[in-house]
Chain A
Amino acid sequence: MSGTGNTIGTRGLVLNEPLIFEQGSPGRVGYSLPPVDVPEKKAEVLIPKRLLRDGIPGMPEVSEVDVIRHYTRISQWNYCVDLGFFPLGSCTMKYNPRINEDMARLPGFAKAHPYQPEELSQGALQLMWELEQYLAEVAGMDRVTLQPSAGAHGELTGLMMIRAYHTSRGNPRSKVLIPDSAHGTNPATSALCGYRVVPVKEGPRGIVEAKAVAEVMDNEVAAIMVTSPNTLGLFEDQIVEVSKIVHAKGGQVYCDGANLNSVMGISRPGDCGVDVIQINLHKTFSQPHGGGGPGAGPVALKKHLAPFMPVPTVEKKGNRLTLDFKRPKSIGKVRAFAASFGVLVRSYTYIRSMGSAGLRRASEVAVLNANYIQSQLKGTYHLPYDRHCMHECVFTDALQARHDIHTVDIAKRLIDYGFHPPTIYFPLIVKAALMIEPTETESKETLDQFIAAMKRIAQEAEENPEVLRQAPHNPKVTRMNETKAAREPKLRWRPTS
């Protein structure tokens, strides 16, 4: 049942590998340390015995070779962008250039201490200052804080600034408007800022309509959080009117910038009336995602919000760059030290490699690639919003459901064909969504292979649905029992003794 014919997905040798805790032997070591060149005082002479530990039972004892083999073996169980197409809509990743890795590892960055004197950190500060200018230009904003460690952290920082802004004007306000198609982080962030979420329904065209916003907008609304282009892959074409309505009642417009990758050099959120936007460097600016971070979520903002930026900001005084901590209206700090600096180095290198025209080209090709997939799969899969899309296209399983084949089955079968599945069952406003985002770093041949696999799966749904229900067949493991994982949580290995 696993045969998938002439496709890139196939079976191959992978090795079993137990947990590291089940390996090694007492006395085996994987480290070397310099000799002790100072008096060898006993620990209990320096620290009272009651504050010392006896040992760390359970820690594995393995050699360097064991460590390399262990991690190399398990690494081969992962799918990744380096292997192939990863069309995980809204989250997706473009190719991660290797020069960026080399640059982040230069000793002047990797071995610099965040508290070393400013005069000995001018290179790091200059990189941050320039990156701020570039990001502000792409987003059409006035300032950027580089501190937030991820997109959701950026949202939180942005909303805190909005809250501080309102507070400074006498009332923090109590509500945030959020369209139903928003990422789950938007409502969670609002709650962390003490705001009540007021949902806004999208109109029939899949976008937030000015009239719907006008109905719920009042003087207690602190902000609207709008994702543009949105999670249906559509540009919020009423965003200018929406911004006017929100601003007229003193509210702020927060844009979730997760999808900024489709409008670089084409349209700028700041020109659409947006006051604050977070920029996911791990998506738009090529930071590798590492299986769940590190990312970074710099927040770009209009100048009326600049007094509330987290400290420190990077400022230029003549030829000297400096970290400014003296910002009395600042929301404070959102992380220790200046930023996820290594991530900034990668994105800076990416921007300098792409250049102005290259960034625009990236957005154009990303949108072209998404529309190509949409045009080729339309008819084979149900397309709930049948218009040109931006960075991603959203299908559903409506045509397959009559064979009792569902989004999850389609997604899992794609694995057998050698592709990572799209984002599934999101956005929530589309029933059983398949959200496909290709990015600009995929070639037409790759897209054609993916399209062929999707068409073949649709055919299998009619002719041999069972093969889909049992998918995936090729990976090391089949579908996992997630209910068991949640009902009887086992979150760690335990020593048996």
Chain B
Amino acid sequence: MRYIPNTDADCKAMLQAIGVRSVEELFADIPAAVRLKRPLKVPPALSESEVARQVRALADKNANADRYSMFLGAGCYNHFSPSILNHLVLRGEFLTPYTPYQPEVAQGTLQALYEYQTLICLLTGMDVSNASMYEGASATAEAALMAHRITGRSEVVMARAVHPEYRAVTRTYASQLGISFREVAFTEAGVTDIGQVRKMLSERVSCLVVQSPNFLGVIEDLTPLAEAAHAVGALLVVAVAEPVSLGIVKPPGECGADIVTGEGAGLGTGLNYGGPAVGFFATREKFMRHMPGRLVGETEDREGRTGYVLTLATREQHIRREKATSNICTSESLIANMSAMYMVTMGPQGLRDVALLNLRKAAYAKDRLAKVRGFSLRFTGPTFNEFVLRTKKKPGEILKGLLKRQIIGGLDLGRFYPELKDCLLVCVTEQNSRPEIDALAKALGGGR
């Protein structure tokens, strides 16, 4: 086997040095009753070329954004990834180290993560960021737990316009600790109903959780939501599932958010059928020690040279065990660094330009599709690169029809919102050309 260097002769020499006759003897501690007495029922080994052929055959059975016009977003966005990102993350020095427990030989990962933390702060307008969480939904769940720890309160108010899977994961996490939930409806504008928020907030509430742009594509006005939360001593948690929006949309940190979480995969790390992705997690300086996850900090070595280490470990499971702020250990360093590479490559102008491109293309599509007979805009609020169309025909049938023209047309919202079962969520990114958008309009019956 090419991944196992030791030959039979090597093994024999080692057995001799150990003083045993066979490998079997080394397993003597395993009681006979629990030894497996047959080979594993796993197929026999394949050569490199055979395995490549078989795995490729599986890949070829899937639709992908190269072969289809992709108008599906819903928390997983089809953005362009500059070639250099892939080349850099394939460098063995980034790909194959472990968590940087020995800083003297991990300064590359550590400096990259320190820069990642800074970039997330700049993008979200927050003070401090951790070195990554698994993905957007569980990061949001951890934010709710953090708010519970900070405030000592056990009620979460969450906008119904938050990604349904983020809501589901937050419920899963929080329900273990007896935290209760209430959901705030959205208005005809497609934004969280501030009136209802004010009614639901009380001194029992640990946090208000909203998403912007929300799952319906609409940009929330965060400032009044923050004021309402703060008025009762609750925290505002803002989830951002589409980080590219922050190239032009006012960052939550400038609107009073206390914790900003989200999905970083939009920053050039790819669709990957949903993962691996990367959760980001940023907060205010005063809450720094309540954060979950790894943190990289600057320090110096014995000779006064600047360097970086994992720090504030007294929050973490390997030190604090059951009193830790989270159980998180391995998270998503490589994907976090990949998203950092994206932000650095794009720079302030590129982040703005790509956001603007998304905004304009989506605005064009929105106009175009809303004029097609049988379709109209469901909500009136401002959107970024995603919007909701109300349809006369069943959304599921419409989507099925589009597949024949190699178009993945969006999401049937009835899957998550019974009240929106006559609605489609359509996403347009910089990857969708005008002819593609026109083809979509035409396929829906829009002529031209």
Contacts and interface: CB of A to CB of B under 8 A. Distances in A.
A150 B134 contact: yes
B65 interface: yes
Nearest to B13: A444
A367 interface: yes
Contacts of B70: 113
A106 B86 CA distance: 13
Interface stretch (B30-38, B199-207, B228-236): B30-38
Interface in B97-142: 97-109, 111-115, 117-119, 121-123, 127-129, 131-132, 134-138
A254 interface: no
B322 A110 contact: no
B135 A335 contact: yes
A57 B125 CA distance: 10
A443 B10 contact: yes
Contact of A31 (B28, B63, B346): B346
B48 A114 contact: no
Interface stretch (B334-342, B370-378, B440-448): B334-342
A244 interface: no
Nearest to A367: B26
Contacts of A56: 122-123, 247, 348, 351-352
A341 B275 contact: yes
Nearest to A79: B105
A38 B361 contact: yes
A98 B296 CA distance: 29
B363 interface: yes
Contact of B6 (A52, A94, A443): A443
B295 interface: yes
A430 interface: no
A486 B297 CA distance: 8
Contacts of A379: none
Contacts of B75: 336-337
9 contacts: A79-B105, A126-B58, A160-B176, A184-B316, A192-B173, A192-B177, A291-B100, A292-B113, A349-B51
B3 A94 contact: yes
B274 A341 contact: yes
Given A110-B272, A341-B273, A485 B297 contact: yes
B382 A46 contact: yes
Contacts of A251: none
Size bracket, chain A contacts = 35 or more
B418 interface: no
B135 A149 contact: yes
Interface in B9-63: 10-11, 13-15, 17-20, 23, 25-31, 33-36, 39-46, 48, 51-52, 54-63
Q: Which of A29, A62, A91, A492 has the most CB of B within 10 A?
A: A492
B263 A288 contact: no
A152 B177 CA distance: 18
A318 interface: no
Contacts of B344: 20, 30, 60, 62, 67, 70
A191 B288 contact: no
A438 B351 CA distance: 44
Contact of B360 (A36, A375, A480): A36
Contacts of A367: 23, 26-27
Given A68-B88, A357-B44, A289 B172 contact: no
Contacts of B18: 368, 371-372, 375
A127 interface: yes
A286 to B, nearest CB: 8
Given A124-B62, A352-B54, A475 B129 contact: no
Interface string B239-251: 0000000111111
A146 to B, nearest CB: 10
Contacts of B349: 27, 29, 61
B297 A77 contact: no
Contacts of A105: 86
Given A82-B96, A334-B138, A33 B353 contact: yes
Contacts of B168: 332-333
Given A30-B350, A31-B345, A116-B408, A490 B328 contact: no
Nearest to A23: B344
Interface in B61-105: 61-68, 70, 72, 74-76, 78, 82, 84, 86-105
B221 interface: yes
